[in-house]
């Protein structure tokens, strides 16, 4: 994994298919305790958005390896008082060994990466959520083995999750179907980027308003909240548009009998996913959440050169 040492992760598009495969294998080995890297390095968390899984999983990953974490919440640092990102990035580089940034604009994340001298990790922006999709791919791999040729269907808003799912699937040979209302589909430029990155030019990338067609024969059904952070005031207006995209028992019947269910959490039960599906035998949501720890530990080990 030496090729990743010192690099940033702003989007999955920055990884090669070989690098993603190596990260997933490393995450598997870390999860079962085959490898136990140690470090005294310090990770900084610069989060402008609320976080449970990302904050806790990154922190736990560092603590389990003997490292340190500084949680630089915007409300308790100069970032929240308007200090320019380029100034913050330069200063934090003198103190920290890596910076995980959770913010709104991808451009802000890119500014951190431009001015920081240490690895910068996208811990979520409005455009991408790469760390989540590494955990998603790890969960698929645990359940099915080889990823190539699987079909993942995502139902809901064509948001940052949909964008990173498109890229992750393209780089691992997973067929990807995104079912979303016409006005809420993924950005065309991200769709084209995913098509260009496909390791198998014949793998499927489908964007459709038809959730039933997208779910038919799928190996995994995936969803996210219908109004992401910063869109809460749109939630009531979005509800009638997205109701047909709910993952429920009827939609599950269209998927493969062995299909699994994924959700990046937090979930609004009985909105984007029903209680019966979320708590049902095909749900792998809690494994998926746990894998945030292992996938991100693999990423930290690789970027910090701990092996």
How would you write the pLDDT of the chain (307 residues) with one tens digit per residue? 579 999 999 999 999 999 999 999 999 999 999 999 999 999 999 999 999 999 999 999 999 999 999 999 776 666 666 789 999 999 999 999 999 999 999 999 999 999 999 999 999 999 999 999 999 999 999 999 999 999 999 999 999 999 999 999 999 999 999 999 999 999 999 999 999 999 999 999 999 999 999 999 999 999 999 987 677 778 788 999 999 999 999 999 999 999 999 999 999 999 999 999 999 999 999 999 999 999 999 999 999 999 9
Q: Determine the Cα–Cα distance for residues 178 and 156; give it in Å rounded to an integer.
A: 8
The confidence score (pLDDT) of residue 233 equals 77
The confidence score (pLDDT) of residue 274 equals 98
Q: Which of 100, 104, 105 lies closest to 118, judged by CA? A: 100
The confidence score (pLDDT) of residue 244 equals 97
The confidence score (pLDDT) of residue 79 equals 66
Q: Which of 244, 247, 184, 197 lies closest to 221, judged by CA? A: 247
The confidence score (pLDDT) of residue 206 equals 98
Whole-angstrom CA distances from 216 to 250, 253, 299 are: 11, 8, 33
Catalytic residues: 102, 129, 132, 224, 264, 292
Q: Determine the Cα–Cα distance for residues 99 and 120; give it in Å rounded to an integer.
A: 5
Q: Determine the Cα–Cα distance for residues 281 and 301; give it in Å rounded to an integer.
A: 33
The confidence score (pLDDT) of residue 210 equals 98
DSSP characters over the chain = -GGGTT--BS-GGGS-HHHHHHHHHHHHHHHTTS-------EEEEEESS--SHHHHHHHHHHHHTT-EEEE--GGGSGGGGT--HHHHHHHHHHH-SEEEEE-S-HHHHHHHHHH-SS-EEES--SS--HHHHHHHHHHHHHHHS--TT-EEEEES--SHHHHHHHHHHHHHT-EEEEE--GGGPPPHHHHHHHHHH-SSTTS-EEEES-HHHHHTT-SEEEE--SS-TT-GGGHHHHHHHHGGG-B-HHHHTTS-TT-EEEE-S---BTTTB-HHHHTSTTB-HHHHHHHHHHHHHHHHHHHTT--
List of domains in the chain = 2-128+292-303 (3.40.50.1370), 132-288 (3.40.50.1370)
Whole-angstrom CA distances from 172 to 102, 197, 280 are: 25, 10, 27
Q: Determine the Cα–Cα distance for residues 235 and 30; give it in Å rounded to an integer.
A: 39
The confidence score (pLDDT) of residue 78 equals 66
The confidence score (pLDDT) of residue 80 equals 60
CB 223 within 8 A of CB 263: yes
pTM over 0.75: yes
**Positive or negative: CA dihedral 293, 271, 149, 199:** negative
Q: Which of 203, 211, 205, 219 lies closest to 179, judged by CA? A: 211
The confidence score (pLDDT) of residue 232 equals 74
Q: Determine the Cα–Cα distance for residues 13 and 21; give it in Å rounded to an integer.
A: 14
Count of other CB atoms within 10 angstroms of residue 282: 16
């Amino acid at each position: 994994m030496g090729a990743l040492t010192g690099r940033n992760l702003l989007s999955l598009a920055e990884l090669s298919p070989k690098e993603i495969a190596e990260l997933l294998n490393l995450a598997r080995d870390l999860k079962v305790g085959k490898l136990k890297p140690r470090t005294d390095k310090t990770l900084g968390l610069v989060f402008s958005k609320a976080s449970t899984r990302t904050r806790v999983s990154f922190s736990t990953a560092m603590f389990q390896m003997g490292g340190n974490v500084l949680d630089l919440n915007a409300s308790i640092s100069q970032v929240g008082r308007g200090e320019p990102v380029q100034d913050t990035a330069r200063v934090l580089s003198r103190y920290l060994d890596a910076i995980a940034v959770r913010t709104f604009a991808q451009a802000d994340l890119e500014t951190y990466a431009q001015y920081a001298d240490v690895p910068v990790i996208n811990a979520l922006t409005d455009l991408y959520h790469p760390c989540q999709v590494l955990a998603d791919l790890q969960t698929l791999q645990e359940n099915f083995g080889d990823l190539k040729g699987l079909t993942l269907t995502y139902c809901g808003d064509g948001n940052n999750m949909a964008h990173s799912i498109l890229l992750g699937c393209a780089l691992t040979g997973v067929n990807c179907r995104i079912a979303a209302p016409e006005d809420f589909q993924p950005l065309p430029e991200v769709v084209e980027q995913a098509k260009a990155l496909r390791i198998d030019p014949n793998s499927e990338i489908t964007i459709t308003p038809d959730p039933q067609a997208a779910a038919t024969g799928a190996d995994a059904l995936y969803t996210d909240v219908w109004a992401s952070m910063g869109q809460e005031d749109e939630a009531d207006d979005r509800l009638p548009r997205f109701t047909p995209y709910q993952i429920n028992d009827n939609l599950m019947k269209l998927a493969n009998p062995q299909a699994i269910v994924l959700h990046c959490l937090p979930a609004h039960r009985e909105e984007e996913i029903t209680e019966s599906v979320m708590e049902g035998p095909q749900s792998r949501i809690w494994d998926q959440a746990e894998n945030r720890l292992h996938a991100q530990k693999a990423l930290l080990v690789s970027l910090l050169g701990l092996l």
